[in-house]
Structure 1
Amino acid sequence: MTLNRRNFLAGTAAMTGAAMLPKAVLAADAIKLGSILDTSGIFDAYGKPMDMALRLAVNELNGAGGLLGRQIEVVSYDTQSDMALYSQYAQQLTRQDKVDVVHGGILSASREAIRQTMRKNKTLYFYNVQYEGGVCDRNIFCNGLTPAQQAAALVPWALKEAGGKKVYTLAADYNYGQITARWIQKFVEEAGGEVVGTDFFPLDVADFGATIAKVQTAAPDLVIAPLVGGAHLSFFRQWAASGMKDKIPLASTTMGVGNEHKVLTPEEGNGIMVAYSYSQDLETAENASFKDRWTAAYGDPTALHELAVSTYYGVHTWAKAVAQAGSIERDAVTAALETGISVDGPAGKYTVDPKTHHATVDVHLMKVQDHKMKVIETLSQRPPIDTQAVCDLNANPDDNTQYEIQI
C-alpha cells in the first residue's frame, strides 16, 4: 500500500525539473550538486517535494548569479525507494560524476548506505531529514530534528494535554523507530509517566486491528506513534474507524512530516499532536514569501512539507559556506560551516552547531485541524543536545561513528 497523494502531490512528477536551468545555460565549469532521493516508490511522498525544494534553491542561487561566478548543475538519481540503489548511485556521483557536494537520503538506512562512500571519496554530504540522532562525522551535516529537539518537547506537552500518565508507543521497526521509542520512554518517565506498552511494525504492515485491540486492553491515556510511510498511515485511519480517536489522544513524531495529515480526513486527523520545525500554516512574512516563490515555480504549494523545507535550508546553508570560503573545496567549505553559519527562511533560523554538524532550530508544538497544523506554542532555537552528549568534532575531528546514545 502506498500513500494516496492525489490531494497533495497531483502533477508533481511532471514539475520535478521545472526549477532546473537548461544545460545550455550552464557554464562549462559548473559546480555540481549531487542529489539522491526516492522520487518514486513507496517513499516518493517524501522524496518528490524534497527534490523540488532542492531545485528551487538551486534555481534561486543560479538566478542570483550562481556561486563564485559559476552556475550550479544538479546531478540527480531516483533510488525508487530501493535501498540497494543508494550505494550504487553514491558511487556514481562521487567517482563518475565527480560532484562537489551531495544532498540526499531519507530513511536512516539510506543515509548509512551512502555516508561512508561520501567520506571515502571526500565529497561533502548533507542529510536533511529528522532522525534518531548520534551521527558524528565531520564529512556530514544533518539539518533534521533529533529526539532532544522534537520528542523532548512533544512528549510532556502531549501528556499534559491528555491529562494522564500512561503511554502506549507504536513505532516503525528499524533504527529510527526503535531508538525513538526509547527516547519516548525516557521523556515519559521524566514527566512522571509510564509506558505501558511498545509495539514495533515493519514498514509494509498495514493491518493494525489486533494492535488496536491490545491498546484498548492496556487503556493508556495517550498513544504516541513514530510510524513511517504509506502503509503505516493505515493505523490512523483504523484508529479513527474503531472509535478510539475520541477516547484516547494521539501524538506522533512522524505523522505530517510528509503531509500525511492532508491525506487523512479531518475526522481521522483532527487533534493529533505533533512537533516540527516547519508547517505550511506558519503565519510569518518569510513563509508567505517562500510559498509565493514555490507557487511561481510549481503551482499550488500543497506538496510542501518539513523535509522539503529542511532540504531547501541544506542547499542554502552549503551555498552560504561556499561564498564565505571563496571555494568549493571540501575542507574550506567545512571550515566555513563550522563557524556556525545561520540561514533565515520559512521555518525561522537554522544555525549549524560546529560541535556536531547538526542544526539548532525552532520547534513548533502543533495540533492537526482540518488538514492544517495549528501552532500552539513555538520553542525557539533548540540545540541537538542528545548528539552533543556523544559527539564533539572540535575535539575529535576524525570521529566516524553513529553513536547509540545511552538513554
Structure 2
Amino acid sequence: MFKPKIRILAAALTLVAFPLLAAAQGDAPIRIGVPVGLSGANSVVAPSVVQSAELAIEEINAAGGVLGRKLALEVADDASGAVGAQKAFDSLVFQKKVDVLISMETSAARNAGLPIVARGKVPYIYTSFYEGRSCSPWMFVNAWVPEQQVPPVVDYFMKTENAKTIFLVGSDYSFGRGMLEFTKKYAQGKGAKIVGEEYLPMDGSDWTAVISKIRATKPDALITSTAGGAPNVTLTKQLRAAGINIPYGNLAVDEGTAKSMGADAAGIYISASYVTGIDSPANKKFLDALTKKFGADLKTPNDLSVPEYEAVYAYKAAVEKAKSTDSDKVLKALGEVAVDGPRGRIAMNQQHHAPLTMYLAQVQPDGGVKVIDSFKDVAVGAQCPNLK
C-alpha cells in the first residue's frame, strides 16, 4: 500500500535535487591546467609563465569570471622533459579534470603530452615558440615558428654584418635541431655558407669542444638554438669566457633569461614577438598590473610568459563565443576569436597558429633589449595544412 507514496516522494526529491545539482555544476570553477618546467631546463623561465597565468586569472575573476564561473589554476611540474610531461599531463587531465591546458613547454614535453591530450579530449593552447609543424586538432599555438623568427636574424647578419659564413649550435632535441635545420636552409638559400653544426644533449653544460670547433672554423657569425633557460646561460658564459665576440644570434633566449645572464648576454641578437619596450597602452597596463601584483618578486615578462597571459584570455573569449566549455565547441571558437593583449591583436587563425609582429633586438649591458627593427603580421607559412 505504501509503494505509490514512496514513488511520489522519490520523484519529488529528484525534482528538487536536479536544479540543485545543476546549480552546483554551474558554480564549479573552470579549471585551467598549466604543465610547465618548474624543474629542469625551463626552470629559469617557468616562474614568469606561472605569474602571467596567475595575473590573467585574477583579472578575469575580478571582472566576473567566464559565463558566471570563476577560473581556477592547476600547475604541475613537467620537469622540462618527456617523462615528467607524461605524469603532469596525466595528472591534470585525468585526476584534476581540467577543462583546458595552457602552457609553455619544451618540445619534448609537448610531444609526450599530446597523446594524453587527445585521449582526454581536452583543448591545449601551446604558448611556447617552437620549431614548427606540430599538428593536432586539439592544439592551438599563439607563439612564433621558424618562418616568423629566423629571417630577421639571418638577413641582418648577412646585410649589415656582411656575414658570409655561419656556425650553428643547438641542443640535441626537436626544437634545437628543427630550428637550425630551417636556419641552415634559409641561410644557404640566401647565399651564406654553414661552416659548422654542433649539438649537446638538453642537459649538457660543457661546451668546450664546440667552442674549439668555432675557433677553428672562424665563422663570420654564430646562431644558436638551445633549450630555453639553463643551456642558454652555460653556452653564453663559456663563449664570453673564451673570447668569442663575433655577431651572435640566439634563437631561444628570451628577455627574462637575458636579464638573468647579466653582462654575458650583452650584444646577443634576438628575434621575438614580445619585448618589454613595446610602446602601447595594452603593454603598459599589463606591465603595471604585473608590478602591482608581484612587486619585488616579479620575474621579467618575456616572449615565453606573455603568450601565456594572452592565451588565458583567448580561452575566455572562445568559451564565451561557444557559450560552453564543451571541448568541440571551444576548439571551433579558438580559431575564430582574437585577443588584444601586450603583443597587439592575436588570432590563432592560420592553421591553428597566429600571424605575429616580430622584433629584431639586441641585448644591452643592463639586460634590457634595444629594438633594431620590426616586422608586422608575419605569416606562419605552411604549418598544418590539414587544419583550418
TM above 0.5, yes or no, is: yes
- Whole-Å separation in 2 of the counterparts to 1:82 and 1:134: 19
Equivalent pair of 1:203/1:232 in contact (CA under 8 Å): no
- Whole-Å separation in 2 of the counterparts to 1:164 and 1:347: 31
Matches within 5 A, 1:312-351: 312-339=309-336, 341-351=337-347
Task: Tell me the SS of whatever aligns to 2:225.
Answer: coil
Equivalent pair of 1:205/1:232 in contact (CA under 8 Å): no
- Whole-Å separation in 2 of the counterparts to 1:146 and 1:358: 9
Task: Tell me the SS of whatever aligns to 1:367.
Answer: strand
Cα distance change of structure 1 residues 344 and 158 upon mapping to structure 2, 3 Å threshold = farther
Equivalent pair of 1:258/1:307 in contact (CA under 8 Å): no
Letter in 2 for 1:133: G
| Cα displacement (A) at 1:322 | 0.9
Equivalent pair of 1:133/1:386 in contact (CA under 8 Å): no
Choose 159-168 or 66-75, whichever is displaced more: 159-168
- Whole-Å separation in 1 of the counterparts to 2:90 and 2:155: 43
Task: Tell me the SS of whatever aligns to 1:264.
Answer: helix
Task: Tell me the SS of whatever aligns to 1:162.
Answer: coil
- Whole-Å separation in 2 of the counterparts to 1:76 and 1:27: 23
Which residue is equivalent to 1:283?
Answer: 279
Letter in 1 for 2:118: R
| Cα displacement (A) at 1:35 | 1.6
Matches within 5 A, 1:63-74: 63-74=62-73
Which residue is equivalent to 1:165?
Answer: 164
- Whole-Å separation in 2 of the counterparts to 1:218 and 1:171: 17
Matches within 5 A, 1:3-42: 28-42=27-41
Equivalent pair of 2:157/2:163 in contact (CA under 8 Å): no
- Whole-Å separation in 1 of the counterparts to 2:66 and 2:149: 34
Cα distance change of structure 1 residues 265 and 70 upon mapping to structure 2, 3 Å threshold = closer
Equivalent pair of 2:100/2:124 in contact (CA under 8 Å): yes
- Whole-Å separation in 2 of the counterparts to 1:27 and 1:373: 46
Equivalent pair of 2:81/2:108 in contact (CA under 8 Å): no
Cα distance change of structure 1 residues 133 and 298 upon mapping to structure 2, 3 Å threshold = same
| Cα displacement (A) at 1:46 | 1.8
TM-score by length of 1: 0.84
- Whole-Å separation in 2 of the counterparts to 1:79 and 1:175: 17
Structure 1 residue runs without a partner (length 5+): 1-25, 395-407
Cα distance change of structure 1 residues 294 and 27 upon mapping to structure 2, 3 Å threshold = farther
Equivalent pair of 2:255/2:275 in contact (CA under 8 Å): no
Higher helix share: 2
| Cα displacement (A) at 1:28 | 4.2
Letter in 1 for 2:235: F
Which residue is equivalent to 2:124?
Answer: 125
Matches within 5 A, 1:2-151: 28-81=27-80, 83-151=82-150
Q: Does residue 381 of structure 1 match 2:380?
A: no
| Cα displacement (A) at 1:104 | 2.7
- Whole-Å separation in 2 of the counterparts to 1:383 and 1:318: 22
Choose 275-284 or 192-201, whichever is displaced more: 275-284
- Whole-Å separation in 2 of the counterparts to 1:361 and 1:231: 26
Which residue is equivalent to 2:292?
Answer: 296
Letter in 2 for 1:155: V
Letter in 2 for 1:304: P
| Cα displacement (A) at 1:232 | 4.1
CA offsets 1:364-388 (integer angstroms, 9 cap, x no match):
010111211111111111121141x
| Cα displacement (A) at 1:81 | 3.8
Q: Which has the larger radius of gyration?
A: 2
| Cα displacement (A) at 1:302 | 4.1
CA offsets 1:148-204 (integer angstroms, 9 cap, x no match):
010122211222232121100011110111111111111111222111110011122
- Whole-Å separation in 1 of the counterparts to 2:320 and 2:178: 37
Q: Does residue 305 of structure 1 match 2:302?
A: yes
| Cα displacement (A) at 1:285 | 2.4
- Whole-Å separation in 2 of the counterparts to 1:97 and 1:122: 14
Cα distance change of structure 1 residues 216 and 129 upon mapping to structure 2, 3 Å threshold = same
Which residue is equivalent to 2:234?
Answer: 234
- Whole-Å separation in 1 of the counterparts to 2:88 and 2:239: 39
Matches within 5 A, 1:191-230: 191-228=190-227, 229-230=229-230
Q: Count the aligned residue pairs.
A: 361
| Cα displacement (A) at 1:210 | 2.5
Task: Tell me the SS of whatever aligns to 1:200.
Answer: strand
Structure 2 residue runs without a partner (length 5+): 1-24
Aligned equivalent of 2:268, options 258, 269, 272 = 272
Task: Tell me the SS of whatever aligns to 1:135.
Answer: coil
